[in-house]
Amino acid sequence: MTRRSGSCFRCCLVILAVISALCVSGPTLYWKLKRGFNLKHSSSISCTPCICDCPPPQSLLKLAPDCGKDDPDLKEEMEKQFVDLLSEELKLQKTVGEAHIRHMNTTFGEARRVASQYQKEAEKCNTATETCEQAREQAEALTRQEKKLTSLWEQRARELGWVIK
């Protein structure tokens, strides 16, 4: 059964690979084949160069020159030096790391507490199992003793001629 499922799995992988390859290279092949069939026709037609009279792209400062001038927080951020920004980033990473460590320690302490609780419950179960096992052994010993006594009384009853059913 595993050999059959393995070969089925391989077959599905091959089909998936072929479909993926066709999806990736299919459009390119389609356009190449289309151009290949129209080689004679397409060689006579040539594209004219594009004439573009577009103005150069404007910068954000030209589009919105007053953007952020009234915002003191943004102005302060923009005036900070690169080193200040890096040191602030490091402080932030340190704070996040310390919070992560605190969370890990809390989680670890909780896990230890729960594990200790489970250990206590397991010890209780083991003790109860041992007690039950001892009681069972005592009951078996008493049963053997009763069987011997019963057998002895049956033998005496037979010797005296009493009928036992």
pLDDT tens, position by position, for the chain (165 residues)?
Answer: 567 777 888 888 889 898 888 888 888 877 877 777 555 554 555 667 777 777 777 665 666 656 656 777 777 777 767 778 888 899 999 999 999 999 999 999 999 999 999 999 999 999 999 999 999 999 999 999 999 999 999 999 888 888 766
Q: What are phi and psi of 81, to 5 degrees?
A: -80, 160
CA angle 160, 164, 165 (to 5 degrees): 170
On whether the pTM is more than 0.85, the answer is no
Any residues with CB less than 8 A from the CB of 75 and at least 6 apart, and which? 68, 69
